[in-house]
A = this chain, B = another copy of it.
Amino acid sequence: MASVLITGGQGFIGTNLANELRERGHETWRSDILHSADSQFIRCDVCSYRQLERIFREHKFDFVYHAAAEYGRWNGEAHYENLWRTNAVGTKNILNAQKEFGFRMIFFGSAEVYGDYDGVMTEDVMNKIPIKQMNDYALTKWVNELQILNSAEMDATETVRVRLFNVYGPHEHYSPYRGVVPVFVYRALHGLPYTVHKGHKRTFEFVEDICRSFANIIDNFHSGEVYNLGSEKQYTIEELSELVMKHTGGNLSGVTYKDEEPFTTRFKIADSSKAKTQIGHNVTVPLHEGIKRTVDWFKQEYRVGG
């Protein structure tokens, strides 16, 4: 069994991952910027190296899942001061701590690093084709990957990078800057209108599937490796919206249909075969079931929709 820390451990994926790791018997601690009732929790803002150092002086960890980050494209544009501080400085702090304390890191990256590339996304496509990231959030995630690669070369730190696509599911709280699933589900349950952009196709990955893959990395850790954790089946945003309306009992009259959203690719096609082979990545929960379970969680969490 391993000793593990999850930064951003009270966030969406962090919460689900802590559940998965604890079920497997790993000693799992979480850190985040606010306080928590969790007995295995240490408050820490990753932007403060002093607070990070305190953790690693008091606890020995084999693995750190570095999930603490400002998330999302429009969130990053609206709150870019926080974005650059948490993502660029925060990750640099983790790398510095890694150099000093010697743990292995699993980094939470994003498919946003594929930027304007619209072909099949294999992990090594950026070694072959120049790619431009199209917003500051995407830039921070690519910066983080290069910080990790440079640190591995200069300081022999050991890290596995993961690139996430559209992870959704329980424990993702609503804000207008969140992904399309929680935005549609929350707004439908509250009778609020939302907008569907036509012409885009995306894959959606249920968070428990993703957390199994994350947890598997501990058992087969290859420093320097990078994995797409995507899935195959593509859905239009219209199809997603219809599923949400079916399970929330919401009314499609609140939906505005618009043309393609500018400055984002129409399709994102991920190749996750490496993750399947090496860490047993497997998306088992189909979208209709995942949406149903997500809606159930939202109903309970926000005490809405019976």
Report A's interface with B, CB cutoff 8 A: 80-81, 84-85, 88-89, 92, 126-136, 139, 143, 146-147, 149-150, 153-154, 263
Contacts and interface: CB of A to CB of B under 8 A. Distances in A.
A132 B146 contact: yes
A139 B132 contact: no
Nearest to A263: B154
A300 to B, nearest CB: 39
Of listed A84, A132, A134, A147, residue having the most chain B CB within 10 A: A84
Contacts of A139: 143, 146-147
Oligomer: number of copies: 2
A284 to B, nearest CB: 35
A85 B146 CA distance: 18
9 contacts: A80-B89, A88-B88, A92-B136, A130-B130, A133-B146, A135-B150, A136-B150, A139-B147, A154-B263
A53 to B, nearest CB: 14
Contacts of A135: 150
A81 to B, nearest CB: 5
Given A88-B136, A92-B136, A150-B263, 13 more contacts: A81-B89, A85-B85, A127-B130, A129-B130, A130-B131, A132-B146, A132-B149, A134-B150, A136-B150, A139-B143, A139-B146, A143-B143, A154-B263
Contacts of A154: 263
Contacts of A129: 130
Nearest to A145: B132
